[in-house]
Amino acid sequence: MVNFRKYISGVTVLAAGFLFAQSTVSTVLYSQNYDNKANLNLPSPAAYVEKAILLPKELVDISVNTMMTDPVLKNATWGFVVYDPKTKKIISSYNENTPLVPASTTKLLTTETAMSMLGENYRWMTQLEYSGEIDENGTLNGNLYIVGSGDPSLGTNKAGAWSYKDIVSDFAGGMTREGIKKVNGDIIIQTALFKGNISALPENVVWLENNNYYLPVGTTKEINPANERLIVKKSMNPAADKKFFYVSPYVNKMVYAEKYDGNGTLTTKLPDAPAFLANSFRASLVKSGVAVTGKVTPKMTDASPELRKMISAYKSPTLGDIIYYTNQRSDNSLAEALLKTVGFQKMGDQTSESGRIVVNNHLKDIEFDLEGLNYMDGSGLSRSNHVTPISQVKFLTSLMDEKFYKTYFNSLPIGGQSGTLKGMFVGEGNGQVFAKTGTLNKVKTLAGYLKTNSGRTLVFSLMVNNYAGSVGQVKSKMETILKPALDL
């Protein structure tokens, strides 16, 4: 905690200076054109004197101390640290060693692990292949294969990814080049990734983030849905399986659930992207006059694989592009997919648990400050995630020496200009704060880099848990804490 005692003499001088400044500044600024004082919008004389007397670091400390008694923060649990990566010294801090819920600043760890392991130019491939032979009439006596690799952006248009329509069109073009006019066989989906795409939700997952309802893939079994409601949509066919929806009490939106166990537990499933692509492709072929006699069928493993020839290959956006999109928009589904991707790359399976093990091991390898760390999911939705402000700034400082630092730095939202920071630091600090935001109910966090007016790059973390008032109010307090650091 910052000690106020050393500022007693400064405040005394400030008070005397203020009495002098009232007359002096008023005289300098006076003009007959400004007789109507209601039209004046001049900075407070005290503000000039305060900046003249106190050092920038002292202004930062005073700002932090002032917030301790602010109605919005006085009963909150919060921590703050601003750190100089060159001197490796803390400039100002408060509760910097306290483990706090980081919300979506958790994505800093997830995305960095993916970039470190895979490289910023990594791409996922989705290929169209065929087996068998094409006869003189253009009939393929064999199978088509859609071979996926777990592309989390497939068909989403995210980060510049193609839509399903675009990919289908490209695949159809490849069929034309090969002279295939009829398929006397099946369309086989082959991907070993994400084949088991039903998993447990992160512990204590929350349902509200940035005013959007969010139910990730998984089951509600691990949480208590006592305050939620279940409704059943009437089916067109009473004999058909009923369709269940999960309704959040926070916002009136619904999410489809495939299964209801009857004990308050629901299970949801992510759309099977390769299957959706394969079925869309088949429908498009048939519509365009290319008959397909077989069906769409999955084949995860193949003991005796057929010889195949590639027709077309779709490359995803680069991992750097996907991480840019993830951090700018705080995209939860991409972050969770990246968690599973690193789990598969290192451990051979695509579960969230494997992903957590890989991320935690990676953090140990790079000597992350593990004190107080609890990494539960890839997106930061779980309230069981915990990290300390000091560990965040040390982590962000260490990234400055990595070869991918520029790409990673550029993925962060910019204050007043882009992403989830576009609405903060619109005036002072505009274009000088580069940070990942985090928002849950009564949780607001910010961690990243700050370019000072003198050209220094500082690293900071500011996490607020259990605040009073609105999220808009706590954002304003966060700006008040950070803005004096611009003069450091």
| pLDDT, tens digit, 9 for 90 and up, residues 182-200 | 999 999 988 754 433 333 3
Name the least confident of 249-263, 311-325, 357-371, 381-395: 249-263
Would you state the pLDDT for residue 24?
34
Tokens of 198: 């039903």
355 φ, ψ (degrees, to nearest 5): -60, -45
Tokens of 12: 């005394």
In this prediction, residue 34 has a pLDDT band, given cuts at 50, 70 and 90, of very low
Which of these, 271, 208, 284, 252, lies nearest to 441 by C-alpha position?
208
305-331 average pLDDT score: 94
Would you state the pLDDT for residue 319?
97
In this prediction, residue 272 has a pLDDT band, given cuts at 50, 70 and 90, of low
Would you state the pLDDT for residue 474?
92
In this prediction, residue 170 has a pLDDT band, given cuts at 50, 70 and 90, of very high
Query: 92-132 pLDDT, tens per residue?
Result: 999 999 999 999 999 999 999 999 999 999 999 899 999 99
Name the least confident of 142-146, 220-224, 466-470, 475-479: 220-224
Tokens of 115: 């970039």
Question: Which residue is listed with tokens 């991992």?
Answer: 319
Spatial separation of the C-alpha atoms in residues 89 and 86, rounded to whole Å: 8
214-226 average pLDDT score: 39
Query: 427-453 pLDDT, tens per residue?
Result: 999 999 999 999 988 999 999 999 999
Question: What is the average pLDDT value for the chain, to the nearest integer?
Answer: 78
Neighbouring-strand partners of residue 392? none
Neighbouring-strand partners of residue 446? 437, 462
In this prediction, residue 406 has a pLDDT band, given cuts at 50, 70 and 90, of very high
Would you state the pLDDT for residue 348?
80
Q: In the predicted model, is pLDDT for residue 318 greater than 80?
A: yes
CA angle in degrees (0–180, nearest 5) for 228-234-235: 125
Q: In the predicted model, is pLDDT for residue 8 greater than 50?
A: no
Task: State how beta strands 243-247 and 182-183 pair.
Answer: unpaired
Contact between residue 335 and residue 438 where contact means Cβ atoms under 8 Å apart: no
CB-CB neighbours of 259 under 10 Å: 15
In this prediction, residue 213 has a pLDDT band, given cuts at 50, 70 and 90, of very low
Q: In the predicted model, is pLDDT for residue 257 greater than 50?
A: no
34-46 average pLDDT score: 40
CA angle in degrees (0–180, nearest 5) for 135-137-141: 40
Count CA atoms within 13 Å of residue 329 on its CB side. Answer: 14
What is the reported pTM?
A: 0.76
Spatial separation of the C-alpha atoms in residues 170 and 318, rounded to whole Å: 19
* Percent of residues, the chain, with pLDDT higher than 90: 54
Which strands form 133-134's sheet, in the order they lie side by side? 133-134, 139-141, 182-183, 291-292
Spatial separation of the C-alpha atoms in residues 51 and 449, rounded to whole Å: 23
Task: State how beta strands 266-268 and 144-147 pair.
Answer: unpaired
Q: In the predicted model, is pLDDT for residue 349 greater than 90?
A: no
Would you state the pLDDT for residue 300?
66
Higher pLDDT, 358 or 4: 358
